[in-house]
Structure 1
Amino acid sequence: MKKNKFYFFLIIACFAGYIWLFYNINAVSNTNSGIEICPFKRVTTLPCPSCGSTRSVIALISGDLQKALLINPLGFLIAAVLLVLPFWLLYDLILKKETFLKFYKDAERFLRKPKIAFLFVSLVLINWIWNIIKDL
Structure 2
Amino acid sequence: MTLDRGRLYSILLIACLAGYIWLYFSITKNFTENKSVEVCLIKHITNVPCPSCGSTRSIISLIKGDLIGALNLNPLGYIIAIIMVVAPTWILTDLFLRSNTLFDFYKKTETFLRKRKYAIPLILLVIINWIWNIIKGL
Common topology (TM > 0.5): yes
- Corresponding pairs, count: 135
Q: CA–CA distance in 2 between the matches of 1:112 and 1:33?
A: 40
Q: What runs of 5+ residues in structure 2 fail to find an aligned partner?
A: none
Deviations 1:44-64 (A, max 9, x none): 100000000000000000000
Q: CA–CA distance in 1 between the matches of 2:95 and 2:32?
A: 40
Task: Select the residue among 37, 40, 43 that pairs with 2:42.
Answer: 40
What amino acid does structure 2 have at the position aligned with 1:123? L
Q: Which runs of 4+ in 1 moved over 6 A?
A: none
**Which residue in 2 is equivalent to 1:102?**
104
Following superposition, the deviation at residue 32 of structure 1 comes to 3.0
Q: CA–CA distance in 2 between the matches of 1:80 and 1:56?
A: 12
Deviations 1:80-124 (A, max 9, x none): 001111100000011111100010111111111101111000000
CA RMSD for the aligned pairs? 1.3
Q: What runs of 5+ residues in structure 1 fail to find an aligned partner?
A: none
Following superposition, the deviation at residue 2 of structure 1 comes to 2.5
Following superposition, the deviation at residue 31 of structure 1 comes to 8.0
Following superposition, the deviation at residue 6 of structure 1 comes to 2.0
- TM-score, reference length from structure 2: 0.93
Percent of residue pairs bearing the same amino acid type? 53
